[in-house]
Amino acid sequence: MGYYLQVLKDDGSFPSTHLPIHPSTLNNIQHTAKGEIMDLQRWFLRLMMAILLTSILAPAVEAGTRNRLGVRTGYYFDAGDVFIGGEYVSPFNRRLDFNPNIEFILIDNASYITFNFDAQYQLPDRNRSNDMWLGGGLGILYVNPEGRGDNEVDMGINLLFGISFVTQSSLTPYLQTKLVLSDNTEFVLGFGLRF
C-alpha cells in the first residue's frame, strides 16, 4: 500500500498527478509534529511553574495586602459547558494583582483545560461594600479529545471585568466576566470565592 501527496491547484481543483510518499517519510512527519507538541507542552508547564513559584515566594508588597487562594466555577458559553477551577492572587501593590489560574471545562469526550496568567487592576471606589477590577492576560487553551492523539494548544488574550463583595469574614465572593480572544473566542461568566 502506498501513500501519495496531492497538492491543490490555485483554483482549488486536484491535479491528475500524484506524488508518491515513502511510509518512513510519513512517520517522520507524524513523529516531528508530536514531538513539537510535547516540547510546547513542556515549555508551557515550566513557564507556569516558574510564575507560580515566583508568586508564592514573593512577599506581599504593601501593608494590608496578602496572597490569597480561591476556587471558581462558571460557564463557557461557546463550548456550552460548566467549568471548575482554582486561582492564586498575589498583590504587586494596592491596586494591581497577579492572578494565575487554571480552569477545567467539563465537556464530554475530551479534556479541555485553560491556563491563565492574568493581572487585575482594582478600580478606585469610595463605596467599600464591593471592589471592581479590570484585567487582562495570557490564556493557554489545551484540548485533548479522548481516543485520539489530536491535542490542540491555542494561545489567547483574556479581557476581564469583575466585582467582589466585602464580607465580615476573610472569605470574599466575586463575579467575573471574561472574553478570551483566540482562534475559538469564548465568553465566560464565573463565580468565585477567595480565602
Provide the b/e sequence for 162-184 (b: ≥16 CB within 10 Å).
bebeeeeeeebebebebebeeee
79 lies in the same domain as 164 = yes
Instruction: Write down the pLDDT at residue 129.
Output: 77
Average pLDDT over residues 127-141: 90
Please, where are the H alpha helices in the chain? 23-57
31 lies in the same domain as 122 = no
pTM: 0.68
Distance (Å, whole) CA 22 – CA 33:
17
Instruction: Write down the pLDDT at residue 184.
Output: 85
Tally of domains within the chain: 2
Instruction: Write down the pLDDT at residue 153.
Output: 92
Give the domain-ending residue among 17, 35, 57.
Answer: 57
Look at the alpha carbons of 134, 192, 51, 36 in this order and tell me if their dihedral is positive or negative: negative
52 lies in the same domain as 73 = no
23 lies in the same domain as 80 = no
Q: Name the band, by pLDDT with cuts 50, 70 and 90, for residue 83.
A: very high
pLDDT tens digits for range 175-192: 999 999 999 899 999 999
For residue 157, give the amino acid letter.
I
Task: Kindly state the cell numbers that stand for 89.
Answer: 492572587
Q: SS3 for 35?
A: helix
Range of the domain at 46: 1-57
10 lies in the same domain as 90 = no
Question: Of all residues in the chain, what percent carry a pLDDT higher than 90?
Answer: 50
Indicate the helix (H) or strand (E) that contains 191.
Answer: strand 186-194
72 lies in the same domain as 47 = no
pLDDT tens digits for range 30-77: 555 555 556 666 776 777 776 666 655 555 455 556 899 999 999 999
Q: pLDDT higher for 29 or 113?
A: 113
49 lies in the same domain as 80 = no
Q: Name the band, by pLDDT with cuts 50, 70 and 90, for residue 105.
A: very high
Give the domain-ending residue among 33, 57, 81.
Answer: 57
88 lies in the same domain as 180 = yes
Who contacts 171 (Cβ-Cβ below 8 Å, separation ≥6)? 193, 194, 195
Give the domain-ending residue among 20, 35, 57.
Answer: 57
46 lies in the same domain as 73 = no
pLDDT tens digits for range 139-184: 999 999 887 778 889 999 999 999 999 889 989 999 999 999 999 8
CATH number at residue 82: 2.40.160.20
3 lies in the same domain as 43 = yes
Instruction: Write down the pLDDT at residue 150.
Output: 81
Alpha-carbon 101 to chain mean position: 8
Instruction: Write down the pLDDT at residue 163.
Output: 96
51 lies in the same domain as 70 = no
Q: ∠ CA 142-145-149 to the nearest 5 degrees? A: 90
98 lies in the same domain as 50 = no
- Of the candidates 50, 30, 48, the one whose C-alpha atom is nearest the C-alpha of residue 142 is 48
Instruction: Write down the pLDDT at residue 181.
Output: 96
Instruction: Write down the pLDDT at residue 156.
Output: 95
Instruction: Write down the pLDDT at residue 94.
Output: 84
